[in-house]
């Protein structure tokens, strides 16, 4: 049995605190077929960060040129700096049969779904807004004002969950991971990217 494959673009999104980063990390580690995209940013490298590994560090002018050239799958401004997922390397990886996974906030996810409608989109849900608050407070990295803002955003984002193809509740991480891996494995069997040849 010969077979060829096109890559899958997997978009993992969800409200801040739902745990998409943890699930992304687990999947990247466990699934050898899954790769990631290195984002572009206009912020300065932090100590220990390497060009092309953590980010591609570019100037505001270079970034603006890439935007003008329609070079991003999605981009956003956060705290005065720009961040973007480049389109060309992702497209090339997919054509080579490499799967690519993005861990991305809902605003970015909507842009990717617009630009790459063939993507597989998964929305990670918290079991409750109370639990989401506990997780955000437990991090200890955001101010109370920032936590309240993220909780308000979360309600709006959860209301739009039907824009995503799949929904996964992240109550117990291991269970949510298994469900996510199952979705990825099922999507590998899709006739739009899996081309088996029946031998004689």
**Binding interface with a second copy (CB under 8 A):** 1, 123, 125-130, 158, 161-169, 171, 179, 182-183, 185-187, 189-192, 194, 196, 198-200
Tokens of 85: 């997922």
What is the spatial distance between Cα 31 and Cα 15, in angstroms, rounded to a whole number?
24
Residue in the structure block whose two tokens are 């506990």: 134
> In the bound complex, what is the minimum distance in angstroms from residue 12's beta carbon to a second copy?
13
Which residue, 45 or 127, is less far from a second copy as judged by CB? 127
* Burial category of 152 from C-beta neighbours within 10 Å (exposed 0-12, middle 13-18, buried 19 and up): exposed
Which residue, 103 or 157, is less far from a second copy as judged by CB? 157
Which residue, 77 or 128, is less far from a second copy as judged by CB? 128
What is the spatial distance between Cα 23 and Cα 114, in angstroms, rounded to a whole number?
24
> In the bound complex, what is the minimum distance in angstroms from residue 162's beta carbon to a second copy?
5
> In the bound complex, what is the minimum distance in angstroms from residue 166's beta carbon to a second copy?
5
Report the candidate in 6, 8, 14 with the shortest Cα–Cα distance to residue 110.
14
Residue 22 gets the label, from left (phi > 0), alpha (psi -120 to 50) or beta, of alpha
> In the bound complex, what is the minimum distance in angstroms from residue 14's beta carbon to a second copy?
11
> In the bound complex, what is the minimum distance in angstroms from residue 63's beta carbon to a second copy?
33
Which residue, 36 or 194, is less far from a second copy as judged by CB? 194
Which residue, 100 or 132, is less far from a second copy as judged by CB? 132
What is the spatial distance between Cα 40 and Cα 1, in angstroms, rounded to a whole number?
40
């Amino acid at each position: 049995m010969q077979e060829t494959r096109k890559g899958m673009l997997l978009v993992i999104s969800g409200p801040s605190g739902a745990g998409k980063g943890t699930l992304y990390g687990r999947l990247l580690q466990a699934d050898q077929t899954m790769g990631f995209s290195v984002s572009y940013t206009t912020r300065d490298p932090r100590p220990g960060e390497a060009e092309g590994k953590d980010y591609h560090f570019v100037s505001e002018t270079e970034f603006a040129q890439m935007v003008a050239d329609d070079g991003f799958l999605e981009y956003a401004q956060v705290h005065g700096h720009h961040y973007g997922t480049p389109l060309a390397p992702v497209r090339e990886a997919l054509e080579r049969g490499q799967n690519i996974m993005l861990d991305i906030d809902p605003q970015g996810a909507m842009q990717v779904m617009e630009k790459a409608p063939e993507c597989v989109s998964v929305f990670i849900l918290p079991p409750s807004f109370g639990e989401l608050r506990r997780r955000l407070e437990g991090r200890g990295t955001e101010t109370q004002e920032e936590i309240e803002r993220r909780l308000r955003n979360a309600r709006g984002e959860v209301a739009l969950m039907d824009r995503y193809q799949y929904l996964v509740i992240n109550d117990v991480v291991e269970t949510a991971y298994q469900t996510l891996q199952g979705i990825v494995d099922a999507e590998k069997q899709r006739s739009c990217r899996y081309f088996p040849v029946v031998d004689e």
